Every structure is written in C-alpha cells, then in structure tokens.
C-alpha cells in the first residue's frame, strides 16, 4: 500500500557525506581524467538506467551496453572495453575492476548497509532484554529488547545482539559482530566481525542416528561450531554442531540464505556458498571453493582448493583442486557439456526420424 499523503518516504539507509570524484578515483586506484574537477561530488549511487547527475554508477557487462550509452549518471566506473560508450556529460573512471570499486564506494556512501544494526535503535543493554548475571559483555555491546544472553556467555565490544536472538550458555562471540533478529547461537565460538543474518541457527544437533530394525538410536552430538573472523551467514541458514569433532567455518567465508551445513563439516577460508546448498556431514571444502545454488554434496568427500561447482549439481566424489565440475552426478564441466551435447544430438535425430515421411525399406 502506498504511503498516506502526509507520511514521509522512509529512509532505510541514510546517506553519509557526499563522495568526491577524487575520492572515488582513489578508491578505484586510477588517475583523474584530464581536465575534470576532482572536487565534483556524488550524493548517491544508482543503476545506469535510473542514475542522475548526482549519482555514481558502474558498468562491466555487455548486457548493459545500451543502458550505458543512455545513462545520465554523473560518474561511472567502467571497464576498459566499454569506456568509449560512456556518453557526454558522464565522467568515466576506467578501471579493470569497476564492481569492486563500486562496492567500496557504496560502503562509504551508505555505511549503515554494511551489517545489520539494532532493530530498536538501541545502544547498550536494553530494558526488556535478558542477560544472565554470569554472562560477560565488554563495554560497547548492544543488546535489543527480547534478546537472551545465557550463563557464562562472552561477547566482545561493538557487537550487536538484535531482538529475539539467543546467545546460549558458554558461547563466545568476538568483537564488532552482528547477531540478527531471531538468531539462535548455541555451542559455538565466533570470531570478530562475523555477521549472522536474521533466523540463522547455529550449533543445534547434527543428524546422527544408529539405525537398526528395532528403531533408530540417537547419537549424542558433543562437538562445537567454530566460526572464524569475517564470516557472513545468510538468513535462515543452519549450521549443525559436530558429532565428536567440530564443525568449522573458515575465515572470510560467505554463506547465502537457506543453506544447510551438516555436522563435522570443515569449510576453508574465503569460500562462497550460494543459496539452497546442502552439505552433508564430515565433508571438507578447502580454501576459495565456490558452490553454486541448489548444489547437494554427499558426506565424507573433499572439494579441493579453488574448485567451482555449477548450480543444481550433485557432488558424490572428491573434487580436485582448481577443478570446475557440474551435473548429476557432478563431473568435469567439459565432460558434462559433452554429455549434454550428445544427448541433445540423439534427441534431434530421433525427432527427425519420427518426422521423416519416407516409407520404410523393410
């Protein structure tokens, strides 16, 4: 429903101070174009299609070549191959990594969008929160109304615990973290600058049962979850605690929404895991692995450093370092594409034979 006439348009992410052309050039690590005023500023950022003279935009994809040619943006970060398409009136900052520079400029323009903040606009320990007397919170921790901090928990300065989040007994959380609304954080050790978006569940039972004809006996899960520095975990993702070893999420890893990570999984540094991935227990991802959306990974396999798995694939064997795999079951991309092409050709031949009016020579 549109806002009533007397209602102000809400501002969810307030803009910081304007950003000068010289500052943006420094962010992009490129020199100022000749003859331009480095003091010229932008006050916002927008897509090419809607950007105005006071906005910053970027372009590095041929799909948006027409939008670039028609943009009214004041400044555009653009890759070298599209620089000649920037229209008059738009200042081009040519860089091999326009998106990376745009991301850093956005962080300067809209700093509150970098991580979830207090949903109550609070600072300090809010009335209506529940902090156990044995919990230890450093100076500068924010706890929203309705949040629960359990006995002997420890939380570092600058960390925000949003409304209805639960930090369980003996859990340790580092500094400058964001624990989003409705997060459940149990049996875990969390590093610095970690972001847990709303609804994340960490440290619950792994799925462990000794199955038998007389029933399935529950196996106690006595491990922990270790989350290292600068990890980000998307909304409604679940990370099970280890059975007897720890589940580990390595430094700088980014995990999307709705991901399931089973017990004893070890994920290396700076991995990227996209939405709706399921990783079964005791699997290892080495550093810099990228897994596309809706991938299923069987338990007890190893995916080597820098490997990439295409979306909707199913991994049921070890993947070598640096490999690019896809399909069901997953295999090297070249083999997968060859199989798809062969099947397509076979299907085309069958369709041609069905449509051929020439009578049989039998």
Please identify every residue annotated as catalytic. Answer: 263
The pairing of strands 215-218 and 209-212 is antiparallel
Q: How far apart are CA 87 and CA 70, in angstroms?
A: 7
- Which strands sit side by side in the sheet containing 201-202, from one edge to the other? 130-131, 148-149, 166-167, 184-185, 201-202, 238-239, 260-261, 278-279, 296-297, 314-315
3-state SS assignment for residue 175: coil
Cβ–Cβ under 8 Å, residues 311 and 274: yes
Cβ–Cβ under 8 Å, residues 130 and 113: no
Number of helices (H) and strands (E) in the chain: give both, helices first: 4, 38
- Residue 258: C-alpha distances to residues 31, 193, 197, 278, 293 (Å): 42, 21, 11, 9, 10
């Amino acid at each position: 429903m549109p806002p009533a006439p007397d209602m102000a348009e809400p501002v969810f992410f307030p803009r910081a101070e304007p950003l000068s052309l010289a500052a943006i050039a420094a962010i992009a690590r490129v020199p100022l174009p000749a003859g331009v005023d480095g003091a010229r500023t932008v006050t916002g950022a927008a897509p090419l299609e809607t950007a105005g003279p006071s906005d910053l935009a970027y372009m590095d994809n041929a799909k948006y070549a027409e939008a670039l040619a028609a943009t009214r943006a004041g400044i555009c970060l653009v890759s070298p191959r599209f620089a000649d398409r920037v229209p008059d009136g738009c200042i081009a900052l040519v860089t091999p990594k326009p998106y990376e520079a745009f991301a850093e400029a956005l962080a300067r323009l809209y700093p509150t969008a970098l991580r979830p903040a207090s949903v109550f606009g609070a600072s300090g320990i809010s009335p209506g929160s529940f902090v156990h007397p044995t919990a230890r919170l450093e100076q500068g921790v924010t706890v929203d109304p309705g949040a629960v901090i359990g006995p002997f928990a420890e939380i570092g300065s600058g960390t925000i615990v949003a409304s209805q989040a639960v930090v369980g007994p003996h859990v340790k959380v580092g500094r400058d973290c964001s624990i989003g609304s409705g997060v459940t954080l149990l049996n875990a050790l969390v590093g610095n600058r970690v972001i847990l978006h709303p609804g994340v569940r960490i440290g619950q039972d792994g799925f462990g049962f000794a199955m038998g004809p007389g029933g399935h006996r529950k196996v106690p899960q006595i491990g922990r979850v270790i989350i290292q520095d600068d990890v980000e975990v998307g909304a409604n993702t679940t990370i099970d605690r280890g059975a007897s070893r720890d589940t580990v999420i390595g430094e700088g890893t980014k995990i999307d929404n709705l991901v399931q990570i089973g017990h004893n999984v070890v994920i290396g540094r700076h991995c990227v895991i996209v939405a709706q991935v399921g990783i079964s227990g005791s699997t290892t991802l080495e550093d810099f692995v990228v897994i596309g959306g809706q991938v299923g990974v069987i338990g007890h396999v190893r995916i080597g450093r820098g490997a990439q798995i295409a979306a909707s694939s199913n991994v049921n064997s070890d993947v070598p370092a640096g490999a690019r795999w896809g399909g069901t079951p997953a295999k090297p991309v070249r083999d997968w594409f060859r199989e798809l092409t062969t099947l397509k050709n076979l299907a085309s031949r069958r369709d041609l034979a069905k449509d051929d009016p020439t009578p049989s020579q039998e």
